Structures are given as C-alpha cells and as structure tokens.
Amino acid sequence: MLDPVWLKTFLEVAETRSFTRAARHLGLRQSTVSQHIRKLEQATTQQLLLRDTHSVELTADGEAMLGFAGTVIETLDRAMSYFTGTELRGRVRFGASEDFVVGPLPEILGEFRRTHPQVDLELTVALSGVLHEQLRAGELDLVLAKRHPGEDGTGALWTDELVWVGREGFELDEAAPVPLIAYPPPSITRARAMESLHANGKSWRIVCTSGSLNGLRAAALAGLGVVVFARSLVPAGLVELPTGHDLPDPGEVEFILTARRAAMRGPTAALSEAIRAGAGRLHATR
C-alpha cells in the first residue's frame, strides 16, 4: 500500500526540489521527509529521486509517480469532502501580476471568498518573472501572470498582442532615442520592448522605471515617454500609439494560470477553476 502521507511528502519534494523546503512547508523534520521518501521507494521498489548535497531531480519513475500521487491525493480529498459534508477549508497562496489587480480580478476573488468563506486567501502582487520564481521555490501555490509565447508546456489561458502606449497626442522625436518607460527586470514587457528596438536598430533610453502599474501610467500621462502593454490591459487614460510613430512590433505575450503540482487540489483547485471560468472577463478589450 502507498501511504497518502508519503505521497504528499513526495509531491512537495518534487515541487520544491528540496528536502529542506519540503520539510518547512509540511511542518516536518527533514529526517522525517527523508524517511517518507525512503519508505515510498521501498514500497514501489524503484528509485524516485536522484539527490546529492546540492540538488534533487526526478527519475523516470519519479516522473510517473507525480501523476499517480496527484490523482490519489485529489481523489482522497474529494472523498473526505463528500462523506464529511464539510465546507472547503485551507489556504491558497495566490500570486497575480498588477495588470489584473486593477481590473476585474478583485471581483472574481470576492466571488470565490463568498462561495468558500473558510478558505484563507493570501494574495501576492508582483512582476510576472518574480511570481514564477516564487512558484518554483514553493512560496506560492497558484500564479496568474505573463510569459513569453511557448516558454513551457503549460497551456495558455489566452494570447495577447503587445502594443506601444502613451498619452493622447504624444509625439516621438525621430532624431532622439526612444524614451522608454518600463517595469524593472525581470519584466517580460520590458524585455520585449528592448528586444524589438534592438532588433530594428533603434536606440532608446530609460526615462522611468517603476515596479508599480500606477507609476508607469503616471509617467506616460506626464508625457515622459512610451511603454509596452498587452492590448487588452492598456491602463485608463492611455492610448495605443498609431503606426506613424515607426516603433517596431513588440510581439505577443501569453497569460497563464499555473500551480504547484503538490498544491493543485482542494482550495487551490477550486480557485483555479473560478479564475478559468472568469478568464473572459480578465482580458475583455477595454
């Protein structure tokens, strides 16, 4: 028999790639985590993890166990919910890029809270690149953010065109470098703006860097320069610049909803379903 406790520990180690972080997240001693993995490997008669003092990697059998373990734990959670008749409980550490926080996302989260009042929702707002790093580190359970098209195998919720944006009537000086307003690294829109300018032989200078969407908007409204946004998420008061400004196409960006495999059950799965159901509201053209 495969003990569900061993399977939960395995999922956490596989997600965080660390026995230390897994122990911290599960509230266990590191020796207990090691013991759970050892018993699981003994029960399956297969090595599931390759580990040394610096890294933890999945074997081929470990990759197979990911799917089995996730299915077993999800089924057990559903069974307990059915037979106990209790409300959904737990915690979801949810990360979202600021583009969504100033839009319809708060309404979707509010509806989720009203439906599941016993779920504690912890919201982190940050750059997409930072959110992806926190998800990989096991610091978040679910993330709604941007990524470069085709960056990994996770299916995108939708794809959007990136556009150059400024205040109404803004004009560029063709003899001067493009005045660029941008998020700090590791911003995806910043990277796409710079890559497109470089590829087309255009010089630029950073006139404003802000980690806040409101900061970028204020700089653009003040006429300091131009900024790249997804077409469906252009902030109020700003407009897409016409083609006459001779700015290169910054390409596309994908929006994804991705979760830690170890956390994709119970409250996290419910929030994921709620956001997917409301995806059309999140990128409706403004």
Say which CATH number the domain at 215 has: 3.40.190.10
Range of the domain at 212: 159-251
- pLDDT, residue 152, reads 65
Residues 80 and 21 in one domain: yes
Indicate the residue among 41, 63, 84 that finishes a domain.
Answer: 84
- pLDDT, residue 154, reads 64
How many CB atoms neighbour CB 185 within 10 A? 13
- pLDDT, residue 266, reads 83
Residues 63 and 106 in one domain: no
Residues 247 and 202 in one domain: yes
Residues 16 and 80 in one domain: yes
CATH of the domain at 68: 1.10.10.10
Q: From CA 156, how far away is CA 150, in angstroms rounded? A: 9
Residues 171 and 135 in one domain: no
Residues 19 and 73 in one domain: yes
Indicate the residue among 52, 68, 84 that finishes a domain.
Answer: 84
Indicate the residue among 84, 115, 133 that finishes a domain.
Answer: 84
Per-residue pLDDT tens digits of the chain, which is 286 residues long: 789 999 999 998 998 888 998 898 888 899 999 999 999 999 999 999 998 877 899 999 999 998 899 888 888 877 776 666 566 788 899 999 988 887 789 989 998 988 888 899 999 999 998 999 999 888 999 999 998 876 665 678 889 999 999 999 999 988 899 999 999 998 999 999 999 999 999 999 999 999 889 999 999 999 999 999 999 889 889 999 987 778 999 999 999 999 887 667 788 988 998 898 888 888 764 4
Task: Answer for the pair 127, 186: CB distance below 8 angstroms, yes or no.
Answer: yes
Token pair 């010089």: residue: 203
Residues 174 and 133 in one domain: no
Residues 97 and 180 in one domain: no
Residues 171 and 240 in one domain: yes
Residues 15 and 56 in one domain: yes
Regarding pTM above 0.85, the answer is no
Structurally, how many domains does the chain consist of?
3
- pLDDT, residue 286, reads 45
Residues 131 and 269 in one domain: yes
Residues 15 and 140 in one domain: no
